[in-house]
Structure 1
Amino acid sequence: MTTWKPRYYDIGVNFSDKMFQGYYQGSHSQKHPCDIPSIIDRAHLFNVDKMLITGSNISESEDHFLLCEKYSNQFDSTAGVHPCSVSAEFYKKKTHKSDNDDDGLEYGDELRDDVDIKLDKLKEIIIRGHKEGHVKAIGEIGLDYDRLHYSSVKQQREMFKKQLDLLDDLKELDLPLFLHMRAACDDFVEIISPYIENGIIRRGNGVVHSFTGSEEELEKMLGLGFYIGINGCSLKTEENLKVASKIPIDRLMIETDAPWCEIRKSSAAYKYITPYPNKFYPEIKNPKVMDNIPDSKTYKLGDNLPFPSLKRDNYIKHAEFVQKTKENIKEPETLETRIGVLADPIIKSRNEPVFVGQVAEILCKLHGITEEKEIEKFIDTVFENSCKVFKSF
């Protein structure tokens, strides 16, 4: 008889973010080495079987191929230009600012001369990435009116349409869309609906990720046939929780949007998270030594998972502690280093894929699911939703 275990697909990870290389808040001082291998190992240890790296601009979309290959295809990727990146990618810089030019934007509304070349390049990346087995979705594309200091409404609308126009030449690939919609519901519906109506976008072939909208906006997204992606940013307030509880399970996906969108203690959803071990994070059977390690009390495990949780400035000090511990024991191979104080640390205030199980736990409870078999069915359904849409089996 096969023992059930959870399976997770984190549909939103920004592995190209400099935080995963040890650089924070624009600093050129590296706090720690690249720790993506450790992050992948932690994720796999707790059954995050699949991850989708999201592209935010053209060069990043192509660079993700190297990441996929470097880490032995541990994850899939998307290709597209994020609404907050369209100004820098497709528009000319302002030559001067007039007295009444107070929008703060560095780029004007005049398209670059090579915009068509750039779009052709993006299309080529999508085709090649799909052929090589890396690209599983087109995106992240859409609208974000919460952050107009990056790209104006005009810029976002224009380039959302131009990226959707690429789909007619990519129909044979049948790639789903990885969509962004923030505080822009009516414009989003207006722009994308014709592509669904004329068959360029197959109904239901995509996800609106990191959804933070109202119940009315949820109904409009579901009305377009899309799946809904939920992460920590989707679960901050009681109103968010109410909306999340309305998402049909057969239209639900989960994500972290790491290194962003962590579920903080101040989040309305935090109260639903229970400590390890639990149904969502089964106990790691542990025959190795974890106790009586000198100075182990210096490092505390996270509140809900069995890994050290450190400020980024303490990463190197912890690595030295681990190395010293191994050197001072006769049989270092008997030490448990997957979990416990000797495990590679989670960095405080930086999200990562291992936390996607917490999103699953919260959503399960919001849907009133408490029976063991129903929890298993919930987790399996959400996983299968993502595998089906992204054709990742």
Structure 2
Amino acid sequence: MFVLAAGVACADNERVLDSELHKLRVTTVAAGLEHPWSVAFLPDGKFLVTERPGRLRIVDAKGNVSAPLQGVPKVAAVGQGGLLDVALAPDFATSRWIYFSYSEPREGGNGTSVARAKLGPQGLTDLNVIFRQTPAVDSSGHFGSRLVFARDGSLFVTLGERQLKYFAVRAQDLETHFGKIVHLKPEGGAAPDNPFLLVPGAQPEIWSYGHRNVQGAALHPDTGELWITEHGPKGGDELNRVQRGANYGWPLVTYGIAYNGDKIGVGQERAGIEPPVYYWVPSIGTSGLTFYTGNRFPKWRGQVFAGGLYGMVERLQLDGDKIVHKERLLEQLDQRIRDVRTGPDGLLYVLTDGPKGALISVAPAE
């Protein structure tokens, strides 16, 4: 049984929305969440939700929201920073390990960190920070950060390039973690198959580089490859298939422009730069990402669903590695979409981002 936290309401309102392939029943599972960022599905049917100001909560199937769990470390809740992604260990049912990323206040500024801890009845225990983005800098933007477990149990972590121009250029610099995807052993430390382990001066955790600010990530259900969505500048959000050791170009190559209209880098293509699978101009403000793998929406199976902070979820139909059709969903909600997940019950779940954000389920209405 959960105690409702002050100021957190439960809601059961629902509406039916049309889409090309399925009629959708959209239900608010829980409302009144403050800038929720990520949701994970617990084995008992409950939800684990992060709120960016630094709170971790449990939501039950009836929408009751717990008081903040104890044991969450202090976060740098500045700008885009705070408590970010959360993921269950593959063996969570027996180990009780959870992993979460957050902007950590440090000497010299802040940086994205990843911790793991055991989830107990009252909160977190046995907490250990297993990764820290280096160097720490004084910036309030572009922390990333999504966590995805590979099929072998290793962990991918997506990292932003810290936004400011003199930090962003270091997305091409292997001596920093700026604008990188890192690949870790579950207890921390570089995974043994990382491409730059033997490169002098390179950070050994790096898996790929040249990223701007990756806030969507998921494994392809057939290949097991990591796919991501990342923010472009003004235009140029990208969907990328992540290759070991590949360079994704930022800030040398982009389909966007600077916010003041200036050109960035050398253009849209360059030898040695991995091109995106798909890009958005104008931007949708890419956020959460999932491949739909459930059975409740049979016509959606295997398709990509990309959240957008500009107020939609975009359904992308794949033919191999090519996008052959797209459809915008949930625009009628008029809400920033922060996370998108396929639930174990086959429903699609989204988090809306705002001071009164919500956990929403999407079910077939037929």
How high is the TM-score relative to the length of structure 2?
0.30
Q: What TM-score, normalized by structure 1, do the two folds share?
A: 0.28
Larger radius of gyration: 1
Q: Counting strand residues as a fraction of each chain, which structure ranks higher? A: 2
Larger RCO of the pair (alpha carbons < 8 Å, separation 6+): 1
Higher share of residues assigned helix: 1
